[in-house]
Amino acid sequence: MIQYGHMELSFIRHHRKELIAFSVGILLAALALLMPNMHRALDRLDQLGYAGMFLTGIMYGSGLTSGLAIIIFADAPSHLNPILVGLIGGLGSALYDLLIFQITRQQSEHGWLASVLQKIRHRHPIPNWIEMLTGFAILVSPLPDELAAGLFGLGKSRARKFFAYSFASNTIGVLIINGVF
């Protein structure tokens, strides 16, 4: 039990920046709902049509701006086809996730992270299917996609397979937010 508590605190210390960014994103989303001027700024993104939905999809993939993206998708203009909004938003988010995946992959193969990962994997071998299942669960959850992209990037997953998972899960998420499901 003490070891578990220590691991939990270590996780919080190690991911402090990501947790702060996610919290700030939630705060920005709440302010967007409460402040008329900020809400008007988000409406301008709506006015870009499908290009705005693509940019909103990129925002949806980031922990900092996912709350704002949810507001935009939930209030998507009625003249836009909701299925296309889901597909285009999912594409934007999946491309953002793929960028994080590639950066993590490069760092895990060539950077300082490679030696750390090799030590961890040697001491605590985790089957590849568990990494993939955990990553997919993160992708479909409200947790920041950067966590899943990083996990897939650190694992042995191929970029195409990750992109397919990310696109499918983000598209489903946008369609749910947009009220299609």
pLDDT at 24: 76
Could you state, in chain order, the average pLDDT of each consecutive group of 10 residues for the chain (181 residues)? 48 64 73 74 81 92 83 88 96 92 74 64 76 79 77 78 91 90 78
Long-range contacts (CB closer than 8 Å, 24 or more residues apart) made by 76-82: 76/46, 76/178, 77/46, 77/47, 77/49, 80/49, 80/50, 80/53, 82/175, 82/178, 82/179, 82/180
Per-residue model confidence (pLDDT) at position 5:
46
Measure the CA–CA gap between 175 and 33, rounded to whole angstroms. 21
Residue 49 backbone dihedrals phi, psi, to 5 degrees? 70, -135
Residue 13 zone, left/alpha/beta (φ > 0; ψ -120 to 50; rest): alpha
Q: Tell me, what's the pLDDT at 2? A: 42
Which among 176, 166, 168 has a CA at the least distance from the CA of 145? 166
User: What are the C-alpha distances in Å from 165 to residues 78, 91, 118, 134?
Assistant: 28, 11, 26, 12
Dist CA 43 CA 64 (whole Å): 19
pTM of the full predicted structure? Answer: 0.74
CB 134 within 8 A of CB 151: yes
Domain ranges within the chain, ordered by starting residue? 2-177
Note the pLDDT of residue 12: 61
